[in-house]
Structure 1
């Protein structure tokens, strides 16, 4: 389906043209028909010579309804710019052309109406010149008369040729509501233009209304051009029946979204699209238009073409979205491309310059390698919410790291551990929490992705893999080994360690270096003693109680119980009864 919006000066024949093409009057309101003036968005459709269908969004042309016109143009990618042959180009024609340029509408068909009243060539020549000045290109103008029917077949053919057949656009759904009403016995119905994705009966959607995301709804029914369908793919005009949603919950500007597929943001980095004819820059306070939504916003310029926008309420965004910024005072319109909907707040000396440098090469196209290079580290789920294509094999919770950033983090981690070892030779290893904080990582699990071969983790601490016992610990190691050689499995008590002059910090350090094995607070054995204990227990008849183990090892209960629990954790022994009987695996 082709979905096209009209554009052009008031009373240049937009509504009459749509009526003549479709046989349907897009003016829905009684006041519109009484005054002969379009006040709100209107909708109609017709079949084209190829059998495809064209749907139209008719917009008001009066200058007082600029925001309504922008709501009609915002969600579409095709437009009919209408200029009357007997009146020619006007100030309102220029304003609507500015809107087409700001939204970067890619397909524009120039239609010269009322060709039965005047020669269409002068109006067509002026209109093409004005469009080119705005960087807009169009196919050959089509001259028509809604009154006589002249040129209507040529217009249908031109529409048929304007957009070639294409498969449905993949991706998540974002349908901008342009109208909501209640049908007796059915409930709330929302209409809008679906540009991409597929919506099905029974789907769950998220409503983002008035800047408040997160309200869930279920699709009860779908209609395309008044025909019930079970699913619909963009581009198309669509009516969506929502289950148990009041009509006042979906005003114009509400977005129906695929859940968890969009960034709901109030802080956005932009690239502004200006040209030589642009007058003075936009003011700090602007109105932002996207789809059928509009938000007051504050604009902060970072350079001639880079800016950060703070919205009064969230909008659901992807990288590459096209916004229109409007100066409320002069009505000037400016297009902008979303570079980062997850923008960082600019605070502190030099922050604006750093942000400007980070955005300088951003293209506004959602490309995986480019986003990784700029962000360094990002979750797969966040990339998908940004609209960046990610391989389907990547889990939602997975992290992706840019190769250069990975190398930088690995070097910093290695330097961090080496520096700490030099400063604290008796406690040379670092906890994961300290490493996370020092490197500014969002999750300790990311350390697993960057740890180099030179480092090794021991009991939750990370240090050099080939760390030799520091000279400062050698006296304590000698004392501990002599004591345990004579005590065997009768491990020294806390008091005995104090008498030997070996403190808790030294015991912990000796454990990290593998000199000792900690079984419980103040209960330490040598690694060889643990191995020998397992060999002794092999001689016991299974299952054996703790008392038999104590007898075989000639060790007190305070040592044997934690020793057996340690062997359980190592998979050497296992409990077979509730009262603690064990056997070797």
Structure 2
């Protein structure tokens, strides 16, 4: 399906032309028929040969209904600009054209209506000249008379040619449907309508909005119920759930897929009226409008860089097109979203520095640039702001869902090596730094720290150590361990007493360092044995009749219950022995 929005001055025949093209009257309100003008958004549709179904969104042309007009124009990629042959170039035609230009709509047809009432050539020339200065440049200009039927064939051909150039949309894209109407149908409940620009909606699917979650009960497109609809399409959704707060401008979204932007950095382009926006303009995006605070950041050629603080968050992505409007003098500016989640500006001169960064951003999705600027992001965040990447590891250091820029990873790796060296120098008996502590010092997630470790750093038992660190222990500890080795040579399975350890100067840090260095075995707190006591014990225990009791093991090893119990538990944990239900044990054979 294709969706086309009308635009043009009031009473220039937009609705009449849509009725002539589709056979359906887009004006649906009695007041619209009584007054002869469009007040609300109207809809009609037809089928064009070779192109398929085409839906028309008919917008009001009166200046009093500009917000409604912009709600209809916002989500639609193709325009039908209507001007009358028997009228001069009118203010609303100029404003609608400026709005289309601000949104950078480039696919359009211009219809010069009432060509049976006046020579259309002056209007054709004027419309062509006006359009040539905008994003619609090159749009065909077709004289037509809706009432007489003249030129309708040529207009349909022009529409077909334009629509055939429209690129297809991704049916698997995330849904962002701006509601433009809400009403209640007896027996069905709440129904909302809107233009689906991409993605798909289907019965049973859940969508979120600022007020909660709704479930789609049924989908209609072009007046008939369908199993699903894919963008671009006009759709009506029968929804249930959190329907309070659903109104024009409410976005219905794929759950969890969109960043809710309260502050955005943008590029502005003046298209009508004043050069610079006021401090409190209105932002129009999709079918919604929200007041914003405008903070200029700096110039960039013929455009301006600015920060907009929204009165309420909206789901925005990099590259979104919108427009700013001064409600006082009707000036318009085109908006391109550069960053929907910008950093805070805290220090003096921060605005100028931010402008320098944004001058290199053009609004096209750039995952590598986003990772480089933000340094640490998640892949889900990149998707939510509109810059997904299929291969994050190719443009950064990937750790689970976290991506670290190469530059940040290089700095963090150097800082990690320095911190580990400093720690080892200050605490020789406590080598290495716990990864959680190192992550805190580096201001990085712990998985990212583990992923960026490079030689000489390595991860051992939850601590980051350096393989260049001297493997020897301090001399006083070495001397104490030598004395302890002499004790073990006589009785390898006898644990020294606390008094003996104190006499040798082996406190808890020294013993922990000795255990990490593999110089002693500590099967339990307070129990110290020779480093190879477990292997030697296994040989001794294998000589016993199997299975054996704890008392038999203690006698075979010539040690006390204080030592043999934790030693046997250690052998069980190492799967060298097997504890039986009657508390006897047996030595496991090869393969255990």
Report if TM-score (shorter chain) is over 0.5. yes
User: Structure 1: any 5+ residue segments left out of the alignment?
Assistant: none
Quick one: distance in 2 between partners of 1:66 and 1:163?
26
CA 437–109 in structure 1, closer or farther in 2 if over 3 Å, else same = same
The equivalent of 2:411 in structure 1 is: 408
The equivalent of 1:267 in structure 2 is: 263
CA 467–71 in structure 1, closer or farther in 2 if over 3 Å, else same = same
TM-superposition CA deviations, 1:177-226 (whole Å, max 9, x none): 111222222222211111111222222222x2xxx26x222221111111
CA 380–575 in structure 1, closer or farther in 2 if over 3 Å, else same = farther
Quick one: distance in 1 between partners of 2:568 and 2:296?
67
Which segment drifts farther, 44-53 or 188-197? 44-53
CA positional deviation for 1:546: 4.0
Whether the aligned pair in 2 keeps the contact of 1:272 and 1:337 (CA below 8 Å) is yes
The equivalent of 2:63 in structure 1 is: 63
Which segment drifts farther, 417-426 or 117-126? 417-426
The equivalent of 1:200 in structure 2 is: 202
CA positional deviation for 1:543: 4.5
Matched, 1:339 2:335: no
The equivalent of 1:421 in structure 2 is: 424
Whether the aligned pair in 2 keeps the contact of 1:289 and 1:325 (CA below 8 Å) is yes
CA positional deviation for 1:135: 4.2
CA 479–375 in structure 1, closer or farther in 2 if over 3 Å, else same = same
After the TM superposition, which residues 473-492 of structure 1 pair with which residues of structure 2 at under 5 Å, given as runs?
A: 473-487=474-488, 488-492=492-496
CA positional deviation for 1:523: 3.0
Whether the aligned pair in 2 keeps the contact of 1:379 and 1:396 (CA below 8 Å) is no
The equivalent of 1:53 in structure 2 is: 53
Quick one: distance in 2 between partners of 1:525 and 1:396?
40
CA positional deviation for 1:295: 1.8
Matched, 1:8 2:8: yes
Whether the aligned pair in 2 keeps the contact of 1:456 and 1:464 (CA below 8 Å) is yes
CA 482–323 in structure 1, closer or farther in 2 if over 3 Å, else same = farther
Choose from 503, 508, 511 the match for 2:512: 508
The equivalent of 1:181 in structure 2 is: 183
Quick one: distance in 1 between partners of 2:585 and 2:350?
65
After the TM superposition, which residues 225-304 of structure 1 pair with which residues of structure 2 at under 5 Å, given as runs?
A: 225-246=222-243, 248-274=244-270, 279-304=274-299
Whether the aligned pair in 2 keeps the contact of 1:484 and 1:491 (CA below 8 Å) is no
CA positional deviation for 1:568: 4.1
TM-superposition CA deviations, 1:103-149 (whole Å, max 9, x none): 11121211111111222222222222223333431322011112212
CA positional deviation for 1:167: 4.3
User: Structure 2: any 5+ residue segments left out of the alignment?
Assistant: none
Quick one: distance in 2 between partners of 1:126 and 1:201?
48
Quick one: distance in 2 between partners of 1:282 and 1:393?
38
**Helix, strand or coil for the counterpart of 1:92?**
helix
The equivalent of 1:146 in structure 2 is: 146
CA positional deviation for 1:333: 1.8
Quick one: distance in 2 between partners of 1:221 and 1:199?
9
CA 92–480 in structure 1, closer or farther in 2 if over 3 Å, else same = same
The equivalent of 2:525 in structure 1 is: 521
TM-score, structure 1 normalization: 0.91
After the TM superposition, which residues 371-390 of structure 1 pair with which residues of structure 2 at under 5 Å, given as runs?
A: 371-390=370-389
**Helix, strand or coil for the counterpart of 1:40?**
coil
Whether the aligned pair in 2 keeps the contact of 1:83 and 1:112 (CA below 8 Å) is yes
CA 493–354 in structure 1, closer or farther in 2 if over 3 Å, else same = farther
Quick one: distance in 2 between partners of 1:478 and 1:396?
44
Quick one: distance in 2 between partners of 1:339 and 1:544?
74
**Helix, strand or coil for the counterpart of 1:362?**
coil
**Helix, strand or coil for the counterpart of 1:285?**
coil
CA positional deviation for 1:479: 0.2
**Helix, strand or coil for the counterpart of 2:487?**
helix
Whether the aligned pair in 1 keeps the contact of 2:399 and 2:447 (CA below 8 Å) is no
CA 463–336 in structure 1, closer or farther in 2 if over 3 Å, else same = same
Choose from 499, 503, 511 the match for 2:503: 499
Say how many residue pairs are matched.
Answer: 576
Quick one: distance in 1 between partners of 2:564 and 2:350?
60
Quick one: distance in 1 between partners of 2:216 and 2:297?
42
**Helix, strand or coil for the counterpart of 1:279?**
coil
Whether the aligned pair in 2 keeps the contact of 1:458 and 1:512 (CA below 8 Å) is no
TM-superposition CA deviations, 1:250-283 (whole Å, max 9, x none): 21112221222211221222222347x8634212
The equivalent of 1:223 in structure 2 is: 220
Matched, 1:73 2:73: yes
CA positional deviation for 1:550: 3.1
Quick one: distance in 1 between partners of 2:580 and 2:365?
58
Choose from 447, 450, 461 the match for 1:448: 450
After the TM superposition, which residues 321-400 of structure 1 pair with which residues of structure 2 at under 5 Å, given as runs?
A: 321-349=320-348, 351-391=350-390, 398-400=401-403
CA 566–374 in structure 1, closer or farther in 2 if over 3 Å, else same = farther
Whether the aligned pair in 2 keeps the contact of 1:221 and 1:240 (CA below 8 Å) is yes
The equivalent of 1:554 in structure 2 is: 558
